[in-house]
A and B are shown apart, each in its own frame.
Chain A
Amino acid sequence: MTRAFGEIAPGEQIPRLSVVVTRGDLVRYAGAADDYVPQHWDRPFMIESGFPDVIVHGWLTFAHMCRSVEIWLPPERARMAQFSVRYLEPTFPGPIECGGVVVSRDSESIDLALYASDANGNRTTTATMRMVPAG
Protein backbone atom coordinates (compact mmCIF):
# COMPACT_ATOMS: atom_id res chain seq x y z
CA MET A 1 0.00 0.00 0.00
CA THR A 2 1.49 3.34 -0.98
CA ARG A 3 -0.07 6.71 -0.24
CA ALA A 4 0.26 10.16 -1.72
CA PHE A 5 1.55 12.78 0.71
CA GLY A 6 -1.73 14.73 0.70
CA GLU A 7 -3.84 11.67 1.50
CA ILE A 8 -2.23 11.05 4.87
CA ALA A 9 -4.35 11.93 7.90
CA PRO A 10 -3.53 12.23 11.61
CA GLY A 11 -4.24 9.01 13.47
CA GLU A 12 -3.32 6.82 10.52
CA GLN A 13 -1.29 3.81 11.62
CA ILE A 14 1.95 2.90 9.94
CA PRO A 15 1.67 -0.81 9.12
CA ARG A 16 3.73 -2.92 11.49
CA LEU A 17 6.98 -4.32 10.16
CA SER A 18 8.20 -7.51 11.82
CA VAL A 19 11.89 -8.30 11.60
CA VAL A 20 14.03 -11.00 13.16
CA VAL A 21 17.45 -9.58 13.97
CA THR A 22 20.13 -12.26 14.35
CA ARG A 23 23.62 -12.01 15.80
CA GLY A 24 24.84 -12.49 12.24
CA ASP A 25 22.90 -9.37 11.26
CA LEU A 26 24.82 -7.46 13.95
CA VAL A 27 28.16 -8.60 12.55
CA ARG A 28 27.06 -7.64 9.02
CA TYR A 29 25.90 -4.24 10.27
CA ALA A 30 29.10 -3.68 12.25
CA GLY A 31 31.10 -4.13 9.04
CA ALA A 32 28.84 -1.91 6.94
CA ALA A 33 28.66 0.84 9.57
CA ASP A 34 32.22 0.56 10.86
CA ASP A 35 30.89 0.14 14.41
CA TYR A 36 32.86 -2.46 16.31
CA VAL A 37 32.11 -1.71 19.97
CA PRO A 38 32.00 -5.02 21.91
CA GLN A 39 28.42 -4.47 23.14
CA HIS A 40 27.29 -5.70 19.72
CA TRP A 41 29.43 -8.81 19.26
CA ASP A 42 31.10 -9.93 22.52
CA ARG A 43 28.46 -12.08 24.22
CA PRO A 44 30.66 -13.27 27.14
CA PHE A 45 31.57 -9.64 27.91
CA MET A 46 27.90 -8.64 27.91
CA ILE A 47 26.84 -11.57 30.11
CA GLU A 48 29.66 -10.75 32.52
CA SER A 49 28.33 -7.18 32.56
CA GLY A 50 24.86 -8.36 33.58
CA PHE A 51 23.11 -8.35 30.20
CA PRO A 52 21.45 -11.46 28.73
CA ASP A 53 23.01 -11.07 25.28
CA VAL A 54 24.72 -8.68 22.89
CA ILE A 55 22.74 -5.54 22.05
CA VAL A 56 21.37 -4.63 18.64
CA HIS A 57 23.01 -1.42 17.37
CA GLY A 58 20.62 1.45 18.08
CA TRP A 59 21.07 2.74 14.56
CA LEU A 60 20.17 -0.71 13.15
CA THR A 61 16.93 -0.82 15.14
CA PHE A 62 16.20 2.68 13.91
CA ALA A 63 17.02 1.67 10.31
CA HIS A 64 14.20 -0.89 10.53
CA MET A 65 11.90 1.78 11.98
CA CYS A 66 12.75 3.94 8.95
CA ARG A 67 11.99 0.98 6.69
CA SER A 68 8.51 0.68 8.17
CA VAL A 69 7.96 4.32 7.23
CA GLU A 70 9.35 3.97 3.69
CA ILE A 71 7.25 0.86 2.98
CA TRP A 72 4.19 2.90 3.91
CA LEU A 73 5.23 6.22 2.32
CA PRO A 74 7.96 5.58 -0.27
CA PRO A 75 10.94 7.90 -0.72
CA GLU A 76 9.65 8.97 -4.16
CA ARG A 77 6.80 10.72 -2.33
CA ALA A 78 8.32 11.92 0.91
CA ARG A 79 11.71 12.31 2.49
CA MET A 80 12.79 12.37 6.09
CA ALA A 81 13.67 15.90 7.18
CA GLN A 82 14.15 15.46 10.94
CA PHE A 83 14.12 12.70 13.50
CA SER A 84 14.74 12.24 17.18
CA VAL A 85 15.33 8.71 18.49
CA ARG A 86 15.48 7.50 22.08
CA TYR A 87 16.93 4.13 22.98
CA LEU A 88 14.95 3.47 26.15
CA GLU A 89 16.15 -0.06 26.81
CA PRO A 90 18.61 -2.35 25.07
CA THR A 91 17.18 -4.30 22.13
CA PHE A 92 18.47 -7.87 21.99
CA PRO A 93 18.69 -10.15 18.93
CA GLY A 94 15.38 -11.81 18.10
CA PRO A 95 12.04 -10.62 16.77
CA ILE A 96 11.38 -6.91 16.77
CA GLU A 97 8.32 -5.07 15.59
CA CYS A 98 8.34 -1.54 14.19
CA GLY A 99 5.36 0.73 13.69
CA GLY A 100 3.91 4.10 14.46
CA VAL A 101 1.19 6.63 13.93
CA VAL A 102 0.68 9.94 12.14
CA VAL A 103 0.59 12.65 14.79
CA SER A 104 -0.12 15.66 12.61
CA ARG A 105 -0.01 16.84 9.02
CA ASP A 106 -0.08 20.15 7.19
CA SER A 107 0.59 20.98 3.55
CA GLU A 108 4.34 20.92 4.07
CA SER A 109 5.04 18.17 6.58
CA ILE A 110 3.86 15.04 8.33
CA ASP A 111 4.90 14.30 11.90
CA LEU A 112 5.14 10.69 12.99
CA ALA A 113 5.58 8.91 16.33
CA LEU A 114 7.43 5.63 15.84
CA TYR A 115 8.42 2.68 17.99
CA ALA A 116 10.28 -0.59 17.98
CA SER A 117 9.30 -3.29 20.43
CA ASP A 118 10.98 -6.55 21.38
CA ALA A 119 9.62 -10.10 21.62
CA ASN A 120 8.12 -9.32 25.04
CA GLY A 121 6.28 -6.31 23.69
CA ASN A 122 8.55 -3.81 25.45
CA ARG A 123 9.01 -0.60 23.52
CA THR A 124 12.78 -0.43 23.51
CA THR A 125 13.08 2.47 21.06
CA THR A 126 10.84 5.42 20.28
CA ALA A 127 11.23 8.22 17.75
CA THR A 128 9.58 11.24 16.31
CA MET A 129 10.06 11.99 12.63
CA ARG A 130 9.14 14.80 10.28
CA MET A 131 8.50 13.89 6.66
CA VAL A 132 8.31 16.47 3.85
CA PRO A 133 7.26 16.02 0.21
CA ALA A 134 10.03 14.54 -1.94
CA GLY A 135 11.78 16.83 -4.40
Chain B
Amino acid sequence: MLEAVLEKLRMRIGETRGPLVRTIEAGALIKFAAATGQTDPRYFDRTNGPVAAPTYISTFCAEAIAGLIDLDVGLPMFLHSDDIAELGAPILAGDEIRASARYVDAYLREGKRGPMLFQTAEMKLTNQADAHVATVRVSAVSL
Protein backbone atom coordinates (compact mmCIF):
# COMPACT_ATOMS: atom_id res chain seq x y z
CA MET B 1 0.00 0.00 0.00
CA LEU B 2 2.80 2.39 0.89
CA GLU B 3 4.45 1.69 -2.44
CA ALA B 4 1.30 2.94 -4.17
CA VAL B 5 1.27 6.05 -1.99
CA LEU B 6 4.94 6.59 -2.77
CA GLU B 7 4.32 6.24 -6.47
CA LYS B 8 1.62 8.94 -6.30
CA LEU B 9 3.88 11.22 -4.29
CA ARG B 10 6.77 10.77 -6.67
CA MET B 11 4.52 11.83 -9.53
CA ARG B 12 4.23 15.16 -7.72
CA ILE B 13 7.98 15.89 -7.82
CA GLY B 14 8.39 19.29 -9.41
CA GLU B 15 4.91 20.50 -8.36
CA THR B 16 4.99 24.12 -7.21
CA ARG B 17 3.07 26.42 -4.86
CA GLY B 18 3.06 30.16 -4.56
CA PRO B 19 4.39 32.66 -4.56
CA LEU B 20 3.03 33.51 -1.18
CA VAL B 21 3.61 37.23 -0.54
CA ARG B 22 3.94 38.59 2.98
CA THR B 23 4.69 42.12 4.16
CA ILE B 24 6.87 41.84 7.23
CA GLU B 25 5.54 43.59 10.31
CA ALA B 26 7.85 44.78 13.09
CA GLY B 27 5.51 43.31 15.71
CA ALA B 28 5.65 39.86 14.13
CA LEU B 29 9.48 39.92 14.14
CA ILE B 30 9.54 41.00 17.78
CA LYS B 31 6.98 38.36 18.76
CA PHE B 32 9.05 35.68 17.00
CA ALA B 33 12.27 36.90 18.66
CA ALA B 34 10.63 36.73 22.09
CA ALA B 35 9.23 33.25 21.40
CA THR B 36 12.69 31.95 20.50
CA GLY B 37 14.41 33.44 23.55
CA GLN B 38 16.45 36.04 21.68
CA THR B 39 18.32 38.63 23.73
CA ASP B 40 20.22 40.60 21.05
CA PRO B 41 18.67 44.12 20.83
CA ARG B 42 18.73 44.07 17.01
CA TYR B 43 15.76 41.68 17.09
CA PHE B 44 13.67 44.09 19.18
CA ASP B 45 14.72 47.49 17.78
CA ARG B 46 11.51 49.39 17.04
CA THR B 47 13.42 52.65 16.33
CA ASN B 48 15.43 51.36 13.38
CA GLY B 49 13.12 48.46 12.63
CA PRO B 50 13.91 45.01 13.98
CA VAL B 51 15.91 42.46 11.99
CA ALA B 52 14.40 38.98 11.75
CA ALA B 53 16.03 36.34 13.95
CA PRO B 54 17.88 33.72 11.85
CA THR B 55 15.17 31.07 11.96
CA TYR B 56 12.31 33.47 11.16
CA ILE B 57 12.43 31.94 7.68
CA SER B 58 10.69 28.91 9.23
CA THR B 59 7.49 30.92 9.64
CA PHE B 60 6.91 30.68 5.89
CA CYS B 61 6.89 26.88 6.03
CA ALA B 62 3.34 26.49 7.32
CA GLU B 63 1.81 28.33 4.38
CA ALA B 64 4.38 27.77 1.65
CA ILE B 65 5.37 24.14 2.25
CA ALA B 66 2.74 22.47 4.42
CA GLY B 67 0.33 22.24 1.51
CA LEU B 68 2.93 20.50 -0.61
CA ILE B 69 4.07 17.80 1.81
CA ASP B 70 1.28 15.23 2.19
CA LEU B 71 0.91 14.41 5.87
CA ASP B 72 -1.96 11.98 5.34
CA VAL B 73 -0.16 8.99 3.83
CA GLY B 74 -1.75 6.28 5.99
CA LEU B 75 0.92 6.29 8.70
CA PRO B 76 -0.04 7.44 12.20
CA MET B 77 2.67 10.02 12.92
CA PHE B 78 4.80 12.54 11.12
CA LEU B 79 7.89 14.32 12.38
CA HIS B 80 10.21 16.97 11.08
CA SER B 81 13.42 15.23 9.98
CA ASP B 82 15.81 17.85 8.64
CA ASP B 83 16.33 21.33 7.21
CA ILE B 84 18.98 22.63 4.87
CA ALA B 85 19.22 26.35 4.18
CA GLU B 86 21.26 28.95 2.39
CA LEU B 87 20.77 32.44 3.71
CA GLY B 88 21.18 35.69 1.81
CA ALA B 89 19.74 39.13 2.49
CA PRO B 90 18.36 39.66 6.00
CA ILE B 91 14.62 40.06 6.54
CA LEU B 92 13.72 43.51 7.85
CA ALA B 93 10.46 45.07 9.00
CA GLY B 94 8.67 46.52 5.98
CA ASP B 95 10.10 43.98 3.53
CA GLU B 96 7.78 42.25 1.11
CA ILE B 97 8.88 38.63 1.02
CA ARG B 98 7.81 36.23 -1.72
CA ALA B 99 7.94 32.51 -0.97
CA SER B 100 7.78 29.98 -3.77
CA ALA B 101 7.84 26.28 -2.99
CA ARG B 102 8.48 23.09 -4.92
CA TYR B 103 7.95 19.41 -4.11
CA VAL B 104 11.40 17.83 -4.34
CA ASP B 105 11.44 14.21 -3.26
CA ALA B 106 9.66 11.28 -1.63
CA TYR B 107 11.22 7.95 -0.63
CA LEU B 108 10.74 5.01 1.74
CA ARG B 109 13.15 3.66 4.36
CA GLU B 110 12.77 0.84 6.86
CA GLY B 111 13.16 2.16 10.42
CA LYS B 112 13.15 0.70 13.93
CA ARG B 113 9.39 1.27 14.26
CA GLY B 114 8.58 0.11 10.72
CA PRO B 115 8.40 1.90 7.38
CA MET B 116 9.38 5.54 7.20
CA LEU B 117 8.19 7.71 4.34
CA PHE B 118 10.29 10.83 3.80
CA GLN B 119 9.14 13.86 1.82
CA THR B 120 11.14 16.96 0.95
CA ALA B 121 10.01 20.36 -0.28
CA GLU B 122 12.07 23.41 -1.06
CA MET B 123 11.10 27.01 -0.49
CA LYS B 124 12.80 30.05 -2.01
CA LEU B 125 12.38 33.44 -0.42
CA THR B 126 13.13 36.72 -2.20
CA ASN B 127 12.53 40.31 -1.14
CA GLN B 128 10.99 43.35 -2.87
CA ALA B 129 14.34 44.08 -4.58
CA ASP B 130 14.31 40.50 -5.90
CA ALA B 131 17.34 39.72 -3.73
CA HIS B 132 17.78 36.15 -2.54
CA VAL B 133 16.77 35.88 1.11
CA ALA B 134 16.85 32.14 1.67
CA THR B 135 16.51 28.75 0.07
CA VAL B 136 15.21 26.24 2.57
CA ARG B 137 14.81 22.51 2.00
CA VAL B 138 12.50 20.95 4.60
CA SER B 139 12.04 17.22 5.09
CA ALA B 140 9.38 15.43 7.10
CA VAL B 141 9.03 11.75 7.88
CA SER B 142 5.80 9.81 8.30
CA LEU B 143 6.12 6.68 10.44
Contacts and interface: CB of A to CB of B under 8 A. Distances in A.
B83 interface: yes
Interface residues of B, number: 34
Given A55-B79, A85-B82, A32 B34 contact: yes
Contacts, number: 96
B86 A81 contact: yes
A39 B58 contact: no
Given A33-B59, A64-B37, A58 B32 contact: no
Contact of A34 (B36, B39, B62, B71): B62
B34 to A, nearest CB: 7
A77 B71 CA distance: 40
B130 interface: no
- Chain A: interface size category: 35 or more
B103 to A, nearest CB: 19
B109 to A, nearest CB: 14
A11 to B, nearest CB: 24
B35 A74 contact: no
22 contacts: A34-B62, A35-B58, A35-B59, A35-B62, A37-B78, A39-B77, A49-B76, A59-B58, A59-B61, A59-B80, A63-B36, A64-B37, A66-B55, A70-B54, A75-B42, A80-B54, A81-B86, A82-B87, A83-B84, A85-B82, A87-B79, A90-B79
Given A59-B61, A63-B55, 11 more contacts: A19-B37, A32-B59, A33-B35, A33-B62, A39-B78, A59-B55, A62-B83, A83-B83, A83-B87, A84-B84, A87-B82
Interface of B: 28, 31-32, 34-40, 42, 51, 53-55, 58-59, 61-63, 71, 76-87, 90
Interface of A: 19, 25, 28-29, 31-37, 39, 49, 55, 57-60, 62-64, 66-67, 70-71, 74-75, 79-87, 90
